[in-house]
Structure 1
Amino acid sequence: MTQKDLEIMAVQEAFKIWKIHTNCILGYVSFFQVKDEVEIIKIAIIKSHQSRGYGSYLIQQLKSLPISKIFIEVSCRNKPAINFYMKNGFNKIGTRKNYYISKNNTRLDAIRMTWKIS
């Protein structure tokens, strides 16, 4: 995501960013909320604070919104992220072929995942 992308999204009413911080920003989630659905754009926690529950906390906060579904797309090679979302109640619902371009210019599939209210 570029600075320009962020500026464009920031003026859209449905776009939101939530931050976790103490005396510095530890992580954030950016997302679109339209009616009762959320699309996660990015979730990130600084390396030194990963595996401490901050990412799950952000997901829990999203789940507390008046929504019925959350969607996310993850690179098929990003096994830690796929496992993170599965641990947080997400299920795989499909694949977008050749969605990402890797650093060596090869195409990678995106795994489409969702969480639905029970």
Structure 2
Amino acid sequence: MGSQALKNRMNAVMNATRAIWSGSFEWMGGFGGTEPDGYYNYTDAIPILFTTLQRLQAYGPRAAVWWRCGHGQWETLDTALSNACAWPRRPFAGIPPGGTSKPRTTAATAST
């Protein structure tokens, strides 16, 4: 199987099984009447991994030879099986995509 045929097969499997491996977004109410917020729930998600015999022979099973649906890169097996969010977080109001918010201060940290 050629590399393009392999990519096409992987994409077909990923699209057909998206409901199995992708987490569901759980909506929650926003704090103080602000925009609704939520989180990804991976409780029922099943990780689906790809690799090739050529990659396993060349690098071994402990190398970054595993492709998990939704992760977008070759990974080691332990990384591929972790439940890190597969998709980028949606931008929140006031936070640019890829940016971070300022840390919250509490009474204990604000006085020090």
| TM value normalised by structure 2 | 0.27
| TM value normalised by structure 1 | 0.26
The structure showing larger relative contact order (alpha-carbon pairs under 8 Å, at least 6 residues apart) is 1
Question: Rg: which structure is higher?
Answer: 2
Structure with bigger helix share is 2
